[in-house]
């Protein structure tokens, strides 16, 4: 079973679906941040330096979209 199949199976549960849907605003924000970074031609390391954090923190944030 791959990730997409597992996600779809989990989302068949109404409680899981409700929790997932409640995160929609956060997913939209993360997608907007990723798109802005790409449009600006910045790397994750560039963003991390400006935020005073590590590139791995930016990678984790962006990885939440996968």
Tens-place pLDDT, residues 2-16: 988 999 999 999 999
For residue 12, being part of any structural domain is answered with no
CA distance 53 to 56: 8
What range defines the domain where residue 41 resides?
Answer: 24-66
Q: What is the pLDDT of residues 9-50, one digit of tens each?
A: 999 999 999 999 999 999 899 899 999 999 999 999 999 999
Distance set, CA 35 to CA 3, 13, 32 (Å): 23, 31, 5
Contact 23, 54 (CB under 8 A): no
pLDDT of res. 8: 93
For residue 28, being part of any structural domain is answered with yes
CA distance 36 to 2: 30
pLDDT of res. 25: 93
State how many domains the chain has.
Answer: 1
For residue 6, being part of any structural domain is answered with no
For residue 3, being part of any structural domain is answered with no
For residue 11, being part of any structural domain is answered with no
For residue 13, being part of any structural domain is answered with no
Residue 66, pLDDT > 70, answer no
């Amino acid at each position: 079973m791959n990730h997409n199949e597992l996600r779809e199976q989990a989302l068949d549960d109404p409680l899981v679906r409700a929790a997932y849907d409640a995160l929609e605003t956060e997913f939209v924000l993360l997608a907007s941040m990723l798109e802005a970074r790409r449009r600006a031609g910045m790397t994750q390391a560039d963003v991390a330096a400006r935020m005073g954090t590590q590139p791995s923190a930016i990678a984790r944030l962006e990885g939440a979209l996968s």
